[in-house]
């Protein structure tokens, strides 16, 4: 990668931080208003008008500044756009992570913006909409929470670990049986505890800060994890798939 490209991606990250703050303020105002809620793949897979409005805001602002870049957004994909990662500079966006939390005004909601070039994640920006916490990381430059360096926990003993997870939107009997089995195994290990906060991106940020030791979930999409993956890696952690192999981006 040339020095010009490196400088350019740094400027892109600066723009991402500005947009995340702007989008976060929109979410802060929207949570006070009456919410129009519908469902996507299942009755528990929720979407609101605010999800779509915030994604439109982020993409339209970025497209104006970077017209040649590509975009992958949760709501765009839900509307039928194909989720394809190319070598082109690509923004990977979750406008409101924790939509169910948002609907209930439960204070764990985030805007997540990841950026990839040549299929390599370059940076991630995650903004906690309720308390204004900003998590950022750029490949090779470290991870930060409100500008302060962060690092993952050094604990390797599961009996001393706090594990984070999510239930997910699928609630069919087979899925619930797998989830219950996994919870039983973790609690029988025994881990110190298992927590569910309703936002995968914020849960992953807690891993990056060392507040918890591990997170697992089946069925994450690229927009759920792209930004957080950079933050965790730059904080000294690892991101793997369910077979134990390095996470490949979930773009298949």
Tell me if residue 97 is catalytic: yes
- Of 126, 116, 60, 62, which is closest to residue 90 (Cα–Cα)? 116
The response to whether 224 counts as a known ligand-binding position is yes
Within 10 A of 43 (CB to CB), how many other CB atoms are there? 9
The response to whether 92 counts as a known ligand-binding position is no
| CA pair distance 109, 101, nearest whole angstrom | 6
Of the residues 224, 225, 232, 234, only one is catalytic, namely: 224
Of the residues 59, 72, 93, 96, only one is catalytic, namely: 96
Tell me if residue 5 is catalytic: no
- Of 174, 161, 171, 170, which is closest to residue 220 (Cα–Cα)? 170
Tell me if residue 94 is catalytic: yes
The response to whether 158 counts as a known ligand-binding position is no
Tell me if residue 51 is catalytic: no
Tell me if residue 75 is catalytic: no
Tell me if residue 224 is catalytic: yes
Residue 46 bridge partners (DSSP): 39
Of the residues 51, 55, 74, 166, only one is catalytic, namely: 74
- B/e letters for 58-68, b = 16+ CB within 10 Å, e = fewer, are bbeebeeebee
The response to whether 74 counts as a known ligand-binding position is yes
Within 10 A of 183 (CB to CB), how many other CB atoms are there? 16
Of the residues 51, 97, 122, 234, only one is catalytic, namely: 97
DSSP annotation string for 81-140? ------SS-EEEEEEEE-HHHHHTT-S--EEEEEEEETTEEEEEEEEETTT--EEEEETT
The response to whether 87 counts as a known ligand-binding position is no
Q: Which residues are catalytic?
A: 74, 94, 96-97, 99, 224
- Mark the binding-site residues, compressed into ranges: 74, 94, 96-97, 224
- Mark the binding-site residues for Mg(2+), compressed into ranges: 74, 94, 96-97, 224
């Amino acid at each position: 990668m040339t020095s010009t490209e490196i400088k350019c991606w740094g400027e892109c990250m600066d723009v991402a931080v500005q947009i995340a703050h702007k989008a976060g303020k929109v979410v802060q105002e929207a949570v006070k208003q009456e919410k129009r809620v519908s469902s996507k793949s299942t009755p528990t897979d929720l979407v609101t008008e605010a999800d779509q409005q915030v994604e439109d805001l982020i993409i339209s602002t970025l497209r104006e500044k970077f017209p040649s870049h590509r975009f992958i957004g949760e709501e765009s994909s839900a509307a039928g756009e194909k989720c394809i990662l190319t070598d082109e500079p690509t923004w990977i966006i979750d406008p409101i992570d924790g939509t169910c939390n948002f609907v209930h005004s439960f204070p764990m909601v985030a805007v997540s913006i990841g950026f990839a070039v040549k299929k390599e994640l370059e940076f991630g920006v995650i903004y906690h909409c309720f308390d204004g916490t900003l998590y950022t990381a750029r490949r090779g430059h470290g991870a930060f929470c409100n500008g302060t360096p962060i690092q993952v926990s050094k604990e390797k003993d599961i009996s001393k670990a706090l594990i984070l997870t999510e239930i997910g939107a699928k609630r069919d009997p087979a899925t619930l049986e797998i989830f219950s089995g996994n919870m039983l195994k973790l609690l029988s290990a025994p881990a110190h505890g298992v927590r569910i906060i309703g936002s995968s991106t914020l849960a992953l940020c807690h891993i990056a800060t060392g507040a918890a030791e591990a997170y697992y979930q089946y069925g994450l999409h690229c927009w759920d994890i792209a930004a957080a993956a950079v933050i965790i890696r730059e904080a000294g952690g690892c991101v793997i798939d369910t077979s134990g192999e390095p996470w490949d981006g979930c773009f298949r």
